[in-house]
């Protein structure tokens, strides 16, 4: 087994064999999750706290289920409603948490780097459940597992990521992961939604969707993050859908067996046509949700093993 980290803060610090380790272990948990009795005790006796400083239903539920299936005591803290509003800083929160002796801390935060900062101040394993526009590592891992199962491999694939790349942590983590695993990554979207310096990421950039989708194996759609828009990135939703919404006509340019992915929640009729999203021959969107639980179980299991292997005084 290769996985030497004490936190999962992003894809950036992971080496390819470590990514493979997580995915291999996740496969086992996919099997477990399909049994009648969906329970293991890899995290028995450990406390998992989910701290979400930003709205999330799906990711939080996925982490909660993953922890419970592995026997952890799981607690959810809805940080939006709590003391943060009363001026408590992230560091204060970390100090409070330390006193509760959690073992696994799952954090989502609206600011890039906030989870990293928190990890420096707490005595437990931290999992990044999305920080600002920075990274969302478990999403990239579950996408990788979905691709690997659908395509039989996770290398030498042509993968298109489409939509609002600039504001997307999902895109960043996926670009990093798919690049590390030696795939060809294409980014498709209006230039106003491309981050600066993107040409240096080792990707191909297209502003014409049909051209960008030509002969790809995987089409990964992103949510158009309306709540993140400062205003004025695109002229209108309908023009966006016309140029960048995934419909049958555009998808016809991809390989005939290309799969369609979306991290959810979807805006049907904005970035993706409803029929494609529901087409069981093309869409693996439901698989992604299933893989999400398994990948999160694997990641927490590996972190817990490293946690237990640490000398006692480090934890003090």
Partner 1 sequence: MTTTLFTDARLIDPEQGTDAPGWLLIEEGVIKAVGTANDPAPAAARVIDCAGHCLAPGIVDIGVKVCEPGERHKESYRSAGLAAAAGGVTTIVTRPDTAPAIDSPETLEFVARRANAAGPVNVRPMAALTKGREGREMTEIGFLMDAGAVAFTDCDHVVTNTKVFQRALTYARALGALVIAHPQEPGLSDGAAATSGKFASLRGLPSVSPMAERMGLDRDIALLEMTGAAYHADQITTARALPALERAKRNGLDVTAGTSIHHLTLNELDVADYRTFFKVKPPLRAEDDRQAVIEGVRTGLIDIISSMHTPQDEESKRLPFEEAASGAVALETLLPAALRLYHSGDLDLPTLFRAMSLNPARRLGLASGRLAPGAPADLVVFDPDKPFVMDRTTLRSKSKNTPFDGQRLQGKVRATYVAGAPVFEVS
Site residues (vs partner 1, CB under 8 A): 12, 89-91, 109, 111-114, 116-117, 131-135, 169, 172, 195-198, 200-201
**Which residues share a beta bridge with 78?**
52
142 phi/psi in degrees, rounded to 5: -70, -35
Nearer to partner 1, 175 or 291 (CB): 175
Nearer to partner 1, 134 or 223 (CB): 134
- 184-188 sheet: strands from edge to edge: 204-206, 184-188, 158-162, 218-221, 259-261
Q: What is the spatial distance between Cα 1 and Cα 262, in angstroms, rounded to a whole number? A: 30
Secondary structure of residue 304 in the 3-state scheme: helix
Q: Is 251 exposed, middle or buried (0-12, 13-18, 19+ CB in 10 A)?
A: buried
Nearer to partner 1, 79 or 90 (CB): 90
Contacts of 213 (CB under 8 A, 6+ apart): 160, 162, 188, 219, 250, 251, 253, 254
Q: Closest separation between CB of residue 209 and partner 1, Å?
A: 21
Nearer to partner 1, 69 or 136 (CB): 136
Nearer to partner 1, 64 or 135 (CB): 135
Nearer to partner 1, 6 or 112 (CB): 112
**Which residues share a beta bridge with 49?**
75, 105
Q: Closest separation between CB of residue 226 and partner 1, Å?
A: 18
CA atoms within 13 A on the CB side of 38: 14
Secondary structure of residue 266 in the 3-state scheme: coil
Q: Closest separation between CB of residue 232 and partner 1, Å?
A: 12
CA-wise closest residue to 96 among 130, 131, 121: 121
Nearer to partner 1, 61 or 77 (CB): 77
Q: Closest separation between CB of residue 172 and partner 1, Å?
A: 6
Q: Closest separation between CB of residue 182 and partner 1, Å?
A: 19
For tokens 């009363």, name the residue. 86
Q: Closest separation between CB of residue 95 and partner 1, Å?
A: 11
Q: Closest separation between CB of residue 22 and partner 1, Å?
A: 21
Q: What is the spatial distance between Cα 188 and Cα 108, in angstroms, rounded to a whole number? A: 26
């Amino acid at each position: 087994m290769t996985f030497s980290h004490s936190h999962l803060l992003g894809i950036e610090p992971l080496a390819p064999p470590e990514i493979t380790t997580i995915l291999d272990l996740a496969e086992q948990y996919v099997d477990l999750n399909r049994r009648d009795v969906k329970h293991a005790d890899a995290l028995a006796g450990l406390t998992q706290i989910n701290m979400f400083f930003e709205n999330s239903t799906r990711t939080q539920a996925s982490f909660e289920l993953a922890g419970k299936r592995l026997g952890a005591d799981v607690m959810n803290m809805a940080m939006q409603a709590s003391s943060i509003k009363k001026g408590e800083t992230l560091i204060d929160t970390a100090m409070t948490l330390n006193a509760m002796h959690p073992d696994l801390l799952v954090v989502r935060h609206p600011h890039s780097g906030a989870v990293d900062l928190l990890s420096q101040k707490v005595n437990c394993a931290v999992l990044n459940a999305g920080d600002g526009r920075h990274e969302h590592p478990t999403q990239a891992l579950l996408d990788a597992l979905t691709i690997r199962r659908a395509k039989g491999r996770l290398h030498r694939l042509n993968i298109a990521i489409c939509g609002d790349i600039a504001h997307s942590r999902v895109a960043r983590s996926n670009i990093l992961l798919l690049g590390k695993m030696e795939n060809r990554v294409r980014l498709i979207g209006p230039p106003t939604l491309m981050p600066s310096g993107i040409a240096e990421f080792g990707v191909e950039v297209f502003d014409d969707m049909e051209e960008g989708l030509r002969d790809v194996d995987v089409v990964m759609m992103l949510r158009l993050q309306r709540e993140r828009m400062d205003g004025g990135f695109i002229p209108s939703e309908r023009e966006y859908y016309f140029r960048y919404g995934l419909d049958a006509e555009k998808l016809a340019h991809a390989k005939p067996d290309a799969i369609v992915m979306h991290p959810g929640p979807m805006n049907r009729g904005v970035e993706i046509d409803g029929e494609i999203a529901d087409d069981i021959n093309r869409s693996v969107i439901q698989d992604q949700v299933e893989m999400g639980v398994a990948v999160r179980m694997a990641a927490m299991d590996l972190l817990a093993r490293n946690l237990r292997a640490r000398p006692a005084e480090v934890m003090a």
